[in-house]
Each structure stands twice: as C-alpha cells, then as structure tokens.
Amino acid sequence: MAIYYSLRYKCLVSLQTRIQLSNQISFGKGSVVKPYVVINTQGGKIRIGKNCAISSFNHISTGMKDVIIGDYVRIAPNVTILGGSRNFQKRDVLIMKQGSSHEGLQIGTDILIGANVVILPGCHIGEGAVIGAGSVVTGEVPPYTIVAGTPAKIIGRRE
C-alpha cells in the first residue's frame, strides 16, 4: 500500500519517494509522484508542471542546468531523465577527474513517455509528443511526433 503526502500545491507525493530537500525542486498542482521515484539536483532547477503523473521507479536528475517538465505529462515506470552527465573524452585523464557536463533539458506539455525510456541531457521534447517504450532520446523531438528506438527516431505523427 502506498501512502502519499499532499504538498501545499495540492499534489500527491508518495512517502516512499526520495526527493532531495531543495528549493530548486517544484511540483505543479494536481501532479502525482508514485513510490520509489528519485529526484535530485546539483544546483539546477527541476520543475514538474501541473497534472503530471510520474510512475514508480523513475529517476529525474540534473546538474547545474534546469530540467523543465511541462503540464499534463505522463511518465511510465522505470524512466531516467538526465540533465547532466559525466565527461569522458580525454584518454589521459581519469574519467572520475574529468567533471560533469551540464546541459539541462525540456519536456513540453501533453507528453506521453513509455516505460524504460532514457532521456539524455540537452534534449527538447516538443508539445504533444509520444516516446515509445525502451527508447533513448538524444536530441530534438518535434511537436506531435511519435518516436521510438535507440536512438529515438520519428515513426509517426499524432493527428
């Protein structure tokens, strides 16, 4: 049984969710965050819009840039949304010492994100898009398109 905490903006967040205590993380009215979600930031803002549904076992993380999730976004289980990543390009420097890149990302309004999707730093997902299960999003997703695959490519359009 999941127990939820109602935040002052009238959204429901499971008590089994791990959210870093930060004034950089905000939730819109009517949003629901299911159990076992992890949300953390290293300085950038994470904004989750109104009436969003974030299923269990998701991870939303950012570095110094913002992750913006619009209104009416549905995120299926086991999705990873990354606003930053590790640098690894230099062979003569240990990966652990190369630092991080901070690109942030933006997810528009009225989006459906399928299970097991990975959204990488720097992505912009346009309004009304659908991301198929198991996809890896690496860049721009135009509005009202349906994308799937690794990397995600356009397979259709919403009418």
- Reported as a single tens digit per residue, the pLDDT across 96-129 is 887 767 788 999 999 999 999 999 999 999 999 9
What CATH number is associated with residue 99?
2.160.10.10
How high is the pLDDT of residue 1?
44
Say whether 148 sits in a helix, a strand or coil. Answer: strand
Q: What is the CA radius of gyration of the chain?
A: 16
Tens-binned pLDDT, residue by residue, of the chain (159 aa)? 454 555 555 777 888 888 877 788 999 999 999 999 999 988 889 999 999 999 999 999 988 889 999 999 999 999 999 987 766 778 888 878 877 677 889 999 999 999 999 999 999 999 999 999 999 999 999 999 999 999 999 999 999
Domain with 151, as residue range(s), is 4-87+94-157
CA distances from 71 to 7, 45, 53, 110, 128 (A): 17, 16, 10, 6, 11
Q: How many separate domains does the chain show?
A: 1
111 torsion bin: left (phi>0), alpha (psi -120 to 50), beta (else): beta
